[in-house]
Amino acid sequence: MKIAAGQINSKIGDFKNNALLILEESKKALDLGVSLVVFPEMSISGYPPMDLVNYNSFVDKNIESLNWLIENLDPNIAVCVGYVDYNKKSNGKRLVNRAVVIFENRIIFSQDKTLLPTYDVFDEARYFEPSSERSLFKLHGVKIGLAICEDIWWNHGEFSDKEYPENPVDEILAQNPDLIIVPSASPFYSGKILTRIEIVKDICKKGSCSVLYVNMVGANDNLIFDGNSFAMNKDSDLIAVAKGFESELLVFDAFSKTVLDEPSYHKYHEIELALSLGIKEYVHKCGISKVVIGSSGGIDSALVATLAVKALGAENVSTFAMPSRYSSEGSKTDARQLAENLNISYDEIAIEPMFETFLSTLEPYFKGTKENVAEENIQARIRGTLLMAYSNKFGGMVLTTGNKSELSTGYCTLYGDMAGGLSVIGDLFKTEVFELCYYINREKEIIPLNILEKPPSAELRPNQKDEDSLPPYDILDGILDLYIVHNKSLEEIVQEGFDEETVKFVLRLTARVEFKRNQVPPVLKVSKKAFGNGRRIPIARSLTEV
């Protein structure tokens, strides 16, 4: 039996075009002799629609597109699609997350999602009523079960401390299926493909059945969807693998004996592809084609510019160096060299006259005080204003260049370097920024070597270095990773071998700047725990209990 995974990129609320894409891919699949093509979770509505589902018009239009598909699909191919529907029961939430199988211009099977995640970036229980029933359907003599995304994550991986009251897969397996199809909209984080494969292996072993895992590709807001759909036979052998980070129609024999090698994994290869895709999708889906970046000659802005070129093309990336009295000649030289290497637009705007004007205006108020962060932040805010002004005049989205270490500790300026429409590397610690840059340079020097080798500095005061006021980045990032990503306490972090006073210092820094992180642009998620809607911490709280 030939089956296909329709690994497509659905745009939230673009019902007509999503349905047209499903129709086109279904026609291609039929021409290739496919009996069943499976599309991702909520492939008609796009995922995650969030509070848009509170509008009846949103739900009604996605149902209209489903009905249009039912009428227009070729009756000779079965098609599984996901959408949002009303809950027909008399109690519970008003909506369900549903997948249906269409064949011969009618729905032959329907399955609602059972497990509705509320951890990390998910909030599905806010909207949907869980299914209380799981059954099979037959197609050409094959018994098939359907489990939507989270329904296979009952008790796995990094979330094994949460156990749902029921396991949908066990109920499906008890009915002896030949095949389980898993339409998914599973957001990316580095290494997640390995976890998915292990989960599906367990299901195949336990039920002696084949499994097709179909994942969405593309990005919506801060979430990136990596695709990487795959299929396994009843012996837990990998028999089909789709490409990562691009659309594909993956066609295979559901009961093939041909065994494939498991996909190779490289953290920074994945992250480079993910961040480039995230930029491209966010910018284009917001109706914009160009981006603007402040190029300091430092490693963070160099990485963002490099990723933007990969995502959008050199012709759509404009960079500006905005030197002040504290900017080194080397930084200006490095910024120019980067622009030449990437073949991107580059200009210099000296901010010294504007800085002088600010200082003279404030002199009556600042008189008799020592220079401190106030004077430093004026420079950052001048730069942010210039970038936003250029963006407003000529179009294009400003990309911010702050990393996760800076966002964690508050080493970033509101309305300055935080000004922009998208935080590209806000989920990469500084040590990861370096590793990714070295990976990008693996074949030739794209990011100038001098940028990678010089000590990091904001250059907002004389001879400033990041490590003047922060622990070395390998120590800082080790502490931050344990605290932010793995939810470890002060005591647990100290037990990992870190100095207690250093840990206290870092955790207090992190706690007191929550207000800044609530104002950061969307942060592209590439780790298990990114800043934004996946980490919800009160702003006004005690800073002594860390």
Residues 199, 156 contacting (CB under 8 angstroms): yes
Q: Is residue 6 part of a domain?
A: yes
Q: What are phi and psi of 350, to 5 degrees?
A: -70, 125
Cα 148–chain centre separation: 20
pLDDT tens-place string over residues 232-243: 999 999 999 999
State which of 192, 224, 255 marks the end of a domain. Answer: 255
Q: Is residue 19 part of a domain?
A: yes
30 and 67 inside one domain: yes
Cα–Cα distance list, 237 to 146, 199, 205, 250 (Å): 20, 13, 10, 17
Residue 162, pLDDT score: 62
Q: Is residue 366 part of a domain?
A: yes
383 and 350 inside one domain: yes
| pTM of the predicted model as reported, rounded to 2 decimal places | 0.95
* Token duo for residue 489: 């306490």
- Among the residues of 395-499, which ranges form H helices? 404-409, 430-440, 449-453, 473-480, 490-495
pLDDT tens-place string over residues 452-502: 998 887 777 777 777 778 999 999 999 999 999 999 999 999 999 999 999
Q: Is residue 351 part of a domain?
A: yes
Strands (E) in 365-437, as ranges, are 397-400, 422-423
238 and 280 inside one domain: no
Distance CA 446, CA 175 (A): 56
Peptide bond before residue 538 is cis, with ω within 30 degrees of 0: no
State which of 407, 441, 468 marks the end of a domain. Answer: 468
* Token duo for residue 75: 């009756």
Residues 168, 207 contacting (CB under 8 angstroms): no
State which of 446, 468, 490 marks the end of a domain. Answer: 468
Residues 317, 282 contacting (CB under 8 angstroms): no
Place of tokens 């991986």: 157
Q: Is residue 14 part of a domain?
A: yes
3-state secondary structure of 61: helix
Cα–Cα distance list, 214 to 9, 133, 236, 240, 525 (Å): 12, 22, 16, 11, 20
Q: Is residue 125 part of a domain?
A: yes
In sign, the C-alpha dihedral spanning 518, 521, 522, 528 is negative
198 and 73 inside one domain: yes
343 and 227 inside one domain: no
276 and 176 inside one domain: no
Q: What are phi and psi of 344, to 5 degrees?
A: -115, 160
For every one of its 546 residues, what pLDDT tens digit does the chain have, with 9 covering 90 and above?
999 999 999 999 999 999 999 999 999 999 999 999 999 999 999 999 999 999 999 999 999 999 999 999 999 999 999 999 999 988 899 999 999 999 999 999 999 999 999 989 999 999 999 999 999 999 999 999 999 999 999 866 455 456 788 899 999 999 999 999 999 999 999 999 999 999 999 999 999 999 999 999 999 999 999 999 999 999 999 999 999 999 999 999 988 888 998 888 899 999 999 999 999 999 999 999 999 999 999 999 999 999 999 999 999 999 999 999 988 888 899 999 999 999 999 999 999 999 999 999 999 999 999 999 999 999 999 999 999 999 999 999 999 999 999 999 999 999 999 999 999 999 999 999 999 999 999 999 999 999 999 888 777 777 777 777 899 999 999 999 999 999 999 999 999 999 999 999 999 999 999 999 999 999 999 999 999 988 988 888 876 555
- Among the residues of 147-233, which ranges form H helices? 168-173, 192-207
**CATH number of the domain to which 340 belongs:** 3.40.50.620
The residues carrying an active-site annotation are 41, 113, 149
* Residues of the chain by 3-state class (helix, strand, coil), percent to 5: 40, 20, 40
Helix axes 15-31, 56-72, angle to 10 degrees: 20
Distance CA 497, CA 142 (A): 55
186 and 152 inside one domain: yes
Structural domain that includes position 94: 2-255
CB atoms within 10 A of CB 7: 27
3-state secondary structure of 361: helix
CB atoms within 10 A of CB 329: 9
Q: Is residue 102 part of a domain?
A: yes
pLDDT tens-place string over residues 35-75: 999 999 999 999 999 999 999 999 999 999 999 999 999 99
Q: Which of 371, 237, 349 is nearest to 296 (CA)?
A: 349
173 and 298 inside one domain: no
Q: Rounded mean pLDDT of the chain?
A: 94
298 and 235 inside one domain: no
| Structural domain total, the chain | 2
64 and 206 inside one domain: yes
Q: Is residue 533 part of a domain?
A: no
**CATH number of the domain to which 177 belongs:** 3.60.110.10
Sheet of 210-215, strand order: 136-139, 142-146, 179-184, 210-215, 230-232, 238-241
* Token duo for residue 152: 């296979």
451 and 403 inside one domain: yes
For residue 208, the 8-state DSSP code is T
235 and 313 inside one domain: no
* Token duo for residue 120: 């990390």
